[in-house]
Amino acid sequence: MVAVERVESLAKSGISSIPREYIRPKEELESINDVFQEEKKEDGPQVPTIDLQDIESEDETIREKCIEELKKAAMDWGVMHLINHGIPVELMERVKKSGEEFFGLPVEEKEKYANDQASGKIQGYGSKLANNASGQLEWEDYFFHLVYPEDKRDLSLWPKTPTDYIEATSEYAKCLRLLATKVFKALSIALGLEPDRLEKEVGGLEELLLQMKINYYPKCPQPELALGVEAHTDVSALTFILHNMVPGLQLFYEGKWIIAKCVPDSIVMHIGDTLEILSNGRFKSILHRGLVNKEKVRISWAVFCEPPKDKIVLKPLPEMVSVESPAKFPPRTFAQHIEHKLFRNKQEELVTEKKDEV
């Protein structure tokens, strides 16, 4: 296994300028601003906050109003802060505390959990490997593992320190799985489908995979030149995110990069490509990226709810397709969809490199 330089080690080495591989191309730099200043801005569009209190209300009118709000946010933004989501705040705090404690261990300790992407071992502690000609890297380390269904987990790969990690994370995954069902139901109803339709389409209880990625963004001496995570849309059906109240998530909305404010006790939820495809583009999978800063370590806990790689062919549901609204996406398995995105990125790189050569 090749030793990988951890961003945390680099950050702690006392450098005042970042290595070339972390410097973003100039087209990106114009829109990278100070996260703390950006978060204070009150003008302009803001990521919507959706209150899920009434998502299963007995009162039809109240329930429909809640579903309508969720639908609007899913169609307009594809990302939102969920409040009154039903997941106990103490449990979220335990998950965050145990993740923070794990990342608080010395790098050598965390290396014992290192993944090995070259040999296909993707679960564990890792950092992005340069996978393009420019060798471009991201300012983060991460921990990645499957958290649900329980029979598909490999607990031997999970952090043993701190001792609460496994229990807190398992409990949180169970709660998120229930929340995902509620959201799938509401979104199905919003599209005029049977309530259990979307969940079935993405694999149901047995096949839908929940994978957790803890993103650890060390302080960066030149945050105006780097990105924690480069711009992308999530491939998942849904993504649920906790964070340590340090801003950094930026959304590309109506042609501008907008920073998400930190809403206490909320969960950020993304609609991913999978639901965008099934809904034939009615629900939006928004382009987003992660900024870093000089002052505070940022940590986020993303759980991706993903269909199985090869078992399901994703395509717009027949009910979502008509003469006026033809299918916007060709049929592809989840694996093919990921492959297609990678290929497209490679093509774009080739075009950019060609342009650079001219």
Helix, strand or coil, per DSSP, at residue 144 = strand
d(CA 233, CA 230): 10
Nearest distance from residue 327's CB to Fe ion, in Å?
A: 25
CA neighbor of 212 nearest in space, from 308, 300, 94: 300
Tell me the torsion sign for CA atoms 181, 187, 191, 195: positive
Q: Looking at 96, 288, 315, 337, which residue is catalytic?
A: 288
Nearer of residues 199 and 234 to Fe ion, judged by Cβ: 234
State the CB neighbour count (10 A cutoff) for residue 200. 16
Nearest distance from residue 157's CB to Fe ion, in Å?
A: 22
Answer yes or no: 354 catalytic: no
Nearest distance from residue 72's CB to Fe ion, in Å?
A: 22
Residues lying near Fe ion in the complex (CB under 5 A): 234
Answer yes or no: 151 catalytic: no
Within 60-197, strands assigned E span 79-83, 124-127, 141-148
Nearest distance from residue 196's CB to Fe ion, in Å?
A: 27
Q: At CA 28, angle to CA 23 and CA 32, rounded to 5?
A: 85
Tell me the torsion sign for CA atoms 117, 168, 201, 277: negative
- Which residue number is nearest to Fe ion in terms of Cβ? 234
Where residue 204 falls (left for φ over 0; alpha for ψ -120 to 50; beta otherwise) is left
d(CA 296, CA 228): 13
Answer yes or no: 43 catalytic: no
CA neighbor of 170 nearest in space, from 192, 145, 187, 189: 145
Answer yes or no: 288 catalytic: yes
Nearest distance from residue 288's CB to Fe ion, in Å?
A: 6
Q: At CA 280, angle to CA 274 and CA 286, rounded to 5?
A: 55
Q: Looking at 174, 200, 232, 296, which residue is catalytic?
A: 232
Q: Looking at 141, 234, 315, 337, which residue is catalytic?
A: 234
Provide the annotated active-site residues.
213, 232, 234, 288
